[in-house]
Amino acid sequence: MAITNLPKTPKIHRIPQPKFIDAIRWLSSPSPFQKSFITSLYDSDFHTPSLEIHSLDPSKTLTTALFSWTPPSRISSLKSTPSLFAASTFLGSLHIFKTPEEMSVLGNDMSDLGEEGVSVLVLEKMGGLIWLMRGEILGGFLMGNGLVSYSAVKWASPSEFVTGGCGFGLQWWDLRKSGAAVAQFKGNWDHGTTSGIIHSIDIHPSRKHTCLAGGSSGTVFAWDLRRQQEPIILSSIGSSDTMTHPLSESEVWEVQYDCYTKSLNSNISSSQILPAMICSEDGILAVIGQGEEPTELLAEPCAINSFDIDCQNPSDVICSLEWESIVILSRP
């Protein structure tokens, strides 16, 4: 008894690329007919990384790159906001662009852009975290005494952020209270041989007390600061109470709140988790909601490594596939 939120199937455009796509993001554009996106690519034949902006006309054909830049090494993380985008590399440099010219270059590994101004969070491999604003280092944390590696980070408010790492652990930090995390969640469900790493975190701007996390073994859960020890599991192998079978059993690479899908439950309280979109290693792009059957948007034979929902027109989703291609979905 699948209840689908989308009666019509989305339009799917596949654009094969000659290079491997490390990450992909929409860019905001002034015209509704001209959409553009940024991709970080890796040419396997010449071992050269590149960062390219392409624009997309209504017929979904790709133009030649509007902007192309060669980073010093492969891109590890790519984020964008309406006014700028940032890319971090595996060599440890961070590049912030104000479309399209380069703004500043700093060092590090994984980043998240703040909503207001240019405050950037950068995660280091060794467990450090640096907070930057307008190219200046404003603060630094050494979390977990420099022993712990974090794999995801997200701003919750201009002064708070959440990190995620191994063992499904989440930490809530406040810049005003340095030292230790303000709140901590230790996931204690474990599936034997599968790993438990959080790959992506999202926080809805209107519900800053809840953070959504996705990671290994198809696990997607929400952590409410007000009920810290009761995570709300949206999808997981181990849980049988929420759904009959898990959506995916492999790594969930990215999670994002999907403001396009309306929840079926009419009485949305503030504790109800909003619908979220996920992409996974086993090639599934789907929307899941609390207590609802998930809606599968795409089932590919290869992994979907990243996706992005267009914030101007949330019906459009762009995702990058393991087999060197980009897929653009236009939902009806």
Q: Which residues bind other proteins (CB under 8 A)?
A: 16, 18, 20, 44-48, 125-127, 144-149, 151, 165-167, 186, 188, 190, 193-197, 216, 249-251, 281-282, 301-303, 322-324
Residue pair 248/254 in contact (Cβ under 8 Å)? The answer is: no
In the structure encoding, which two tokens stand for residue 318, read together? 């762009």
From the CB of 4, what's the least distance to other proteins, in Å?
24
282 or 316: CB nearest other proteins: 282
From the CB of 56, what's the least distance to other proteins, in Å?
21
From the CB of 181, what's the least distance to other proteins, in Å?
11
5 or 280: CB nearest other proteins: 280
76 or 119: CB nearest other proteins: 76
Q: Write b or e for each residue in 13-33: b if 16 or more Cβ atoms lie within 10 A of its Cβ, otherwise e.
A: beeebebbbbbbbbbebeeee
86 DSSP 8-state letter: E
SS3 145: helix
How far, in Å, CA of 266 to CA of 13, rounded? Answer: 33
From the CB of 167, what's the least distance to other proteins, in Å?
6
From the CB of 289, what's the least distance to other proteins, in Å?
26
From the CB of 199, what's the least distance to other proteins, in Å?
8
82 or 146: CB nearest other proteins: 146
Q: What is the largest CA-CA distance in the chain?
A: 55
From the CB of 30, what's the least distance to other proteins, in Å?
33
193 or 206: CB nearest other proteins: 193
191 or 209: CB nearest other proteins: 191
166 DSSP 8-state letter: B
146 or 205: CB nearest other proteins: 146
Identify which of 95, 113, 92 has the alpha carbon closest to the alpha carbon of residue 104.
95
How far, in Å, CA of 23 to CA of 35, rounded? Answer: 17
How far, in Å, CA of 31 to CA of 190, rounded? Answer: 48
Cα-atom radius of gyration of the chain, to the nearest Å? Answer: 19
From the CB of 227, what's the least distance to other proteins, in Å?
19
Residue with tokens 């101007």: 312
In the structure encoding, which two tokens stand for residue 115, read together? 């909503």
Amino acid identity, residue 22? D
53 or 303: CB nearest other proteins: 303
- In 44-123 the beta strands, taken as DSSP E runs, fall at 48-56, 67-69, 75-80, 84-89, 93-98, 101-107, 110-113, 119-123
